[in-house]
Amino acid sequence: MSIKQSHSYSLGIVGLPNVGKSTIFNVLTKMSVPAENFPFCTIDKNVGIVQIPDDRLEKLAKHFNAKKVVPSMMKFVDIAGLVKGGSKGEGLGNQFLSHIREVDVIMYVLRGFESEKITHVYDRIDPLEDYEIVQSELILKDMESVEKRIASSEKMKRIGDEKAGIEVELLEKVLEKLNEGIPVIDMKHNPEEKEILEELSLLTNKKRFFILNTRADIDNEKTTNWKKELENETGDKVFIVDIKLLSEMAEMEEGEIQEYMDMFDKKPNRVEDIIEGAFEVLNLITFYTGSEKECNAWSIVKGSTVKEAAGVIHTDLEKGFITADVVNLEKMLEVGGWVEAKENGLVKNHGKEYVVEDGDYIIILANTK
Ligand SMILES: Nc1nc2c(ncn2[C@@H]2O[C@H](COP(=O)(O)OP(=O)(O)OP(=O)(O)O)[C@@H](O)[C@H]2O)c(=O)[nH]1
Ligand SMILES: [Mg+2]
């Protein structure tokens, strides 16, 4: 039985041109060290798969002296900057929007930094308005997709397809709301409607969060207000990130970074904070498996059962699932290991309905023939 690479969730980076998207993409994707233990692969010049930094996995691997360590992964997609009217052929951006159809979460990068040298396409600094512009482009692209789908469903409806009829009715309502500037994710839909909409992979139906790119050493009122306004308007998480600082830190040694960080009263957000943010937005937790041969970290949506967790590792493990022994990884290591954890009654045996908790170390018993 082969071990499947943990399904990697993916994140799409969007924003106006020259706001720091590629810079942050480079910082995020450079985290990987060139050791075979930490697989890193660049699929395309603007797509990178990154290992999730994970202290608990490191501790587990050290405990077992594991030959191989397989962290959980996240895929990042960096696209060209969007501009107003992109959907009508301005700039390059809109044609690249299709590259982020499949991502699980969208990270907006908004420019808050002033610089004479770096041109702003609209010659002013206004992250809130920039957000509106970028979002409008996503909405326009979605309207295009919805209109196309309505046209094809109409045909099916005419030949008596009942489901197509329901779909047309729903999509027409969605189109109307999109036209009012409401992203799909902010509309109210019942589970059946949600399912129909899922299929369309609409850009404004994705979870999202914001990077407000501005200098870390000036904690000014302007930045705080931008953050508040954005949070109020969207209800989503906003990270203040000094992208230039991060890219400078990427070139430094760890000791040097610490010295640098100590200069700030309030610690600037780092790459780990951004990834943690993405995990939170996606509602993901991590569980662990492995021993001397190989230690793995796996990401899974909070609320998943241990049987579903088995499926993340291998479909055969889910199909043949019998039972699982589960212990909190850190508690297990505290008492000295698996045997000690068992002796101390920390290991619990669970059936398929057990809901996995963040930090669980799991041994699955399955009939895989
Ligand atoms: N002063 C300053 N410059 C920055 C910052 N972030 C990025 N830059 C600079 O801005 C320029 C554009 O950055 P990119 O990361 O290429 O921007 P982008 O959003 O990918 O731009 P497009 O690919 O054109 O859409 C580069 O010269 C960066 O060095 C920042 O926080 N402060
Ligand atoms: Mg770029």
pLDDT at residue 166 in the model? 93
Looking at residue 242, what is its pLDDT? 93
Q: Residue 123's pLDDT is what?
A: 85
State residue 7's pLDDT score. 64
288 near 297, Cβ under 8 Å? Answer: yes
Judged by its nearest atom, the ligand closest to the C-alpha of residue 23 is: 1
Residue closest to 210 by CA, chosen among 136, 266, 131: 131
Q: Which residues contact 38 (CB under 8 A, 6 or more apart)?
A: 32, 51, 69, 71
Ligand 1 center to residue 24 CA distance, Å? 9
Please check whether residue 34 is in contact with residue 266, taking contact to mean a CB–CB distance below 8 angstroms: no
User: Over the stretch 255-274, which tens digit does the pLDDT of each residue have?
Assistant: 898 888 888 888 889 988 99
Decide if 239 contacts 212 (C-beta within 8 A): yes
From the alpha carbon of 242, which atom of ligand 1 is closest?
31
Instruction: Return the residue matching tokens 């508690």.
Output: 331
Residue 91: the pLDDT is: 58
- Using one digit for the tens of pLDDT, what is the confidence trace for 337-351? 999 999 999 999 999
Query: Span 196-225, mean pLDDT?
Result: 90
Q: How confident is the model at residue 42, as a pLDDT? A: 42
pLDDT tens, position by position, 23-67? 899 888 874 433 333 333 344 457 888 888 899 999 999 999 999
Q: What share of the chain is helix, strand, coil (3-state, %, to 5)?
A: 45, 20, 35
Per-residue pLDDT at 43: 42
228 Cα–ligand 2 center, Å: 27
Structure tokens at 68: 């191989």
Nearest-atom index, ligand 1, CA of 19:
19
pLDDT in tens, 216-231: 766 688 899 999 999 9
Query: What architecture does CATH give domain 134-202?
Result: Orthogonal Bundle (1.10)
Domain ranges of the chain: 9-51+72-126+206-282, 134-202, 303-366
CA count, 13 A, side-chain hemisphere, 80: 11
Q: Report which ligand 1 atom has the smallest distance to the Cα of 109.
A: 19
pLDDT value at residue 103? 92
Rounded-to-integer distance, Cα 369 and Cα 366, Å: 9
| Nearest CA residue ID for atom 16, ligand 1 | 22
Q: What is the DSSP letter of 3?
A: P
Predicted confidence (pLDDT) per residue in 131-189, tens digit: 999 999 999 999 999 999 999 999 999 998 989 999 999 999 999 999 999 999 999 99
Among 43-52, 59-68, 102-111, 279-288, which stretch is predicted with the lowest mean pLDDT?
A: 43-52
Q: Give the architecture-level CATH label for domain 9-51+72-126+206-282.
A: 3-Layer(aba) Sandwich (3.40)
Q: Fold identical between 9-51+72-126+206-282 and 134-202?
A: no
**What is the β-pairing status of strands 284-290 and 294-301?**
antiparallel
How distant, in Å, are the alpha carbons of 20, 69, 143, 251 from that of 270? Answer: 15, 24, 36, 14
The atom of ligand 1 lying closest to the CA of 213 is: 31
* Confidence tier at 6 by pLDDT (50, 70, 90): low
Per-residue model confidence (pLDDT) at position 79: 83
259 C-alpha to ligand 1 centroid (Å) = 25
Q: What is the mean pLDDT of residues 293-316?
A: 95
Q: Give residue 35's pLDDT.
A: 30
CA atoms of 355 and 306, how far apart (whole Å):
6
pLDDT attached to residue 12? 94
Which of the four pLDDT bands, split at 50, 70 and 90, describes residue 96? Answer: confident
Please give the mean pLDDT across all residues of the chain. 88
For 151, the token pair is: 């046209």
Q: Burial-class residue 228 by CB neighbours within 10 Å (0-12, 13-18, 19+).
A: exposed
- Report the percent of the chain where pLDDT is more than 70: 91
Is there a contact between 79 and 12 (Cβ–Cβ < 8 Å)? yes
How many residues does this entry show for the chain?
369
The per-residue pLDDT for range 314-335, each reduced to its tens digit, is 999 999 999 999 999 999 999 9
> Residue 131 CA to chain centroid, in angstroms?
19
C-alpha to C-alpha distance for 156 and 152, rounded to whole angstroms: 7
CB atoms within 10 A of CB 180: 7
Task: Tell me, in angstroms, the distance from the centre of ligand 1 to residue 120's CA.
Answer: 10
Distance from C-alpha of 281 to C-alpha of 207, rounded to nearest angstrom: 7
Ligand 1: which residue has its CA nearest to atom 11?
Answer: 18
* Token reading at 359: 């930090």
**Which residue from 4, 23, 1 is spatially nearest to 211, judged by alpha carbons?**
23
Distance of CA 193 from the midpoint of ligand 1 (Å):
39
Q: Write the DSSP symbol of residue 151.
A: H
The answer on pLDDT for 120 being more than 60 is yes
Ligand approaching nearest to the C-alpha of 93: 1
* Pocket residues: Cβ below 6 A from ligand 1: 15, 17-23, 80-81, 113, 115, 118, 213, 242-244
> Which atom from ligand 1 is nearest to the alpha carbon of 214?
31
DSSP string, 308-344: HHHHHH-HHHHHTEEEEEEEEHHHHHHHTSHHHHHHT
In this prediction, residue 8 carries a pLDDT of 82
Q: What is the pLDDT of residue 285?
A: 95
Pocket test of ligand 1: the residue of 23, 213, 223, 247 to mutate, having most ligand atoms within 8 Å of its CB, is: 23
More confident residue, 98 or 344: 344
Rounded Cα–Cα distance for residues 78 and 48 (Å)? 9
pLDDT of residue 266: 81
State the Cα torsion 359-363-368-369 to the nearest 10°: 170
3-class state of residue 92 by DSSP: coil
Say which CATH class 303-366 falls into: alpha beta
Query: Measuring from atom 1 of ligand 1, which residue has the nearest CA?
Result: 115
pLDDT grade for 5, boundaries at 50, 70 and 90: very low
Looking at residue 46, what is its pLDDT?
78
**Nearest protein CA to atom 23 of ligand 1, as residue:** 80
Tell me the whole-structure pTM to 2 decimals. Answer: 0.88
Residue nearest to atom 32 of ligand 1 (CA): 244
Ligand (nearest to CA of 27): 1
Per the model's pLDDT, the better-predicted residue between 201 and 31 turns out to be 201
- The ligand 1 atom at the shortest distance from the C-alpha of residue 114 is 1
The pLDDT, as a whole number, for residue 209 is 96
Confidence of residue 4 (pLDDT cuts 50, 70, 90): very low
User: Which letter does DSSP use for residue 305 in this model?
Assistant: B
Please say whether the beta carbons of 130 and 226 come within 8 A.
Answer: no
